A and B are shown apart, each in its own frame.
Chain A
Amino acid sequence: MTEITGFNMLLSILLPTIAAPICYFGGRKFGRVGNGIFATFILVISTGLLLASWNRVSSGEKVIESYGVWVGLFKLNVAFLHDNLSFPISILISGIAMLAAVYSIAYMTHEHDQEMYFAALLLFTAGMVGVVLASNLILFYLFWEMMLVPSYFLIAYWGTGRPRIIGFKYFMFTHAGAASLLAGILLTYAYTATFDLLGLPNLLSSISPGMLRIIMVLMSIGFAVKLAIFPVHTWLPDAHAEAPTPISVLLSGVMIKTGAYAIVRMSITLFPSESVKVSYGLSVLAVITMLWGGFMALAQTDIKRLLAYSSVSQVGYILFGLMSLNSLGVGGGLFHIVNHGVAKGLLFMCAGAIIYSTGIRDINKLGGLASKMPLTAVATLCGALSIAGTPPFGGFASEWMIFAGGFASGNTVLSSLAIAATMVTVAYYLRMIKKVFFGVCPESLSDVKEAPSSMLLPMAILTFLTVIFGIFAFAPLQILYPAGEAVTRLIVRG
Chain B
Amino acid sequence: MFTWPINLLVIFAITTPLVYTLGVKASIKKLVDVWAVIGFILSAISFYPLYLKVSSEKVLIHYWVGIQFRGVALFEIDMLSIFMAGLFIFIGLLTAIYSTRYMEHDTRHGEYYALLLLMVSGMVGVAFAGDFFTLFIFWEVMCLTSYVLVAFRKEQWEPIEAGFKYLVMSSAGSATMLFAMSILYGIVGSLNFAYMHKALSESVTPWSMISLALIVVGFGVKAAVTPFHTWLPDAHPAAPSSISAMLSGVVIKTGVYGLIRVMMLLFTPESYHWHTAIAILAVLSMTTGNLMALLQSDLKRLLAFSSIGHIGYIIFGLSIATVYGLTGSLFHVLNHALGKALLFLCSGAFLLAAGTRDLNQLAGIGRKMKITGFTFIVGSLALAGVPPLNGFQSEFMLVLAGLQVGASRNLWYLFSALMLINILFSVGYYLRIIQVVTLHEPSESVSRVKEAPKPMLFSMVLIAILCILIGIYPGPFVNLANQAAQSVLSVESFVKLIIH
Contact = CB atoms under 8 A, between A and B. Distances in A.
Interface stretch (A65-73, A286-294, A348-356): A65-73
A370 interface: no
Interface of B: 327, 381, 386-388, 392, 396, 399-400, 403-404, 406-407, 416-417, 420-421, 423-424, 427-428, 431-432, 435, 439-440, 473-475, 478-479, 482
Interface in A164-180: 164, 167-168, 171-172, 175-176, 179
11 contacts: A70-B475, A72-B478, A141-B387, A164-B435, A167-B439, A175-B424, A182-B396, A183-B420, A186-B396, A187-B403, A189-B400
Given A145-B388, A183-B420, A71 B381 contact: no
B424 to A, nearest CB: 5
A176 B422 CA distance: 11
A72 B474 CA distance: 9
Contacts of B407: 190-191
Contacts of A176: 424
A1 B112 CA distance: 54
Nearest to A180: B420
Contact of B387 (A73, A146, A171): A146
Interface string A180-209: 001100110111000000000000000000
Q: Which 10 A-B pairs have the closest CB atoms?
A: A190-B403, A142-B387, A190-B404, A145-B387, A186-B400, A142-B388, A179-B424, A164-B435, A186-B403, A71-B475
A70 B473 contact: yes
Contact of A156 (B417, B423, B435): B435
B435 A167 contact: yes
A414 to B, nearest CB: 34
Interface in A123-165: 138, 141-142, 144-146, 148-149, 156-157, 163-164
Nearest to A175: B427
B431 A172 contact: yes
Given A71-B475, A145-B387, A168 B435 contact: yes
Majority-rule SS of B interface residues:
helix
Interface of A: 69-73, 138, 141-142, 144-146, 148-149, 156-157, 163-164, 167-168, 171-172, 175-176, 179, 182-183, 186-187, 189-191
A183 B417 CA distance: 8
Contact of A171 (B404, B427, B440): B427
A70 B421 CA distance: 28
B404 A72 contact: no
Given A70-B473, A168-B431, A172-B424, 17 more contacts: A70-B474, A71-B475, A72-B475, A72-B478, A73-B478, A142-B388, A145-B386, A145-B388, A145-B392, A164-B435, A164-B439, A167-B439, A168-B435, A172-B427, A175-B427, A190-B403, A190-B406
A145 B417 CA distance: 19
Nearest to A141: B387
A72 B479 CA distance: 8
Nearest to B435: A164
A141 B386 CA distance: 10
A172 B434 CA distance: 14
B236 to A, nearest CB: 26
Contact of B420 (A71, A156, A168, A182): A182
Contacts of B420: 179, 182-183
Contacts of A144: 387
B353 to A, nearest CB: 20
A18 to B, nearest CB: 12
A171 B431 contact: yes
A15 to B, nearest CB: 15
B340 to A, nearest CB: 20
Contacts of B473: 70
A142 B395 CA distance: 13
Contacts of B428: 172
A146 B388 contact: yes
Nearest to A191: B407
A179 B440 CA distance: 27
A179 to B, nearest CB: 5
A182 B427 CA distance: 15
Contacts of A191: 407
Contacts of B431: 168, 171-172
B406 A164 contact: no
Nearest to B417: A183
A69 B479 CA distance: 13
Nearest to A72: B475
A191 B428 CA distance: 31
A72 B49 CA distance: 25
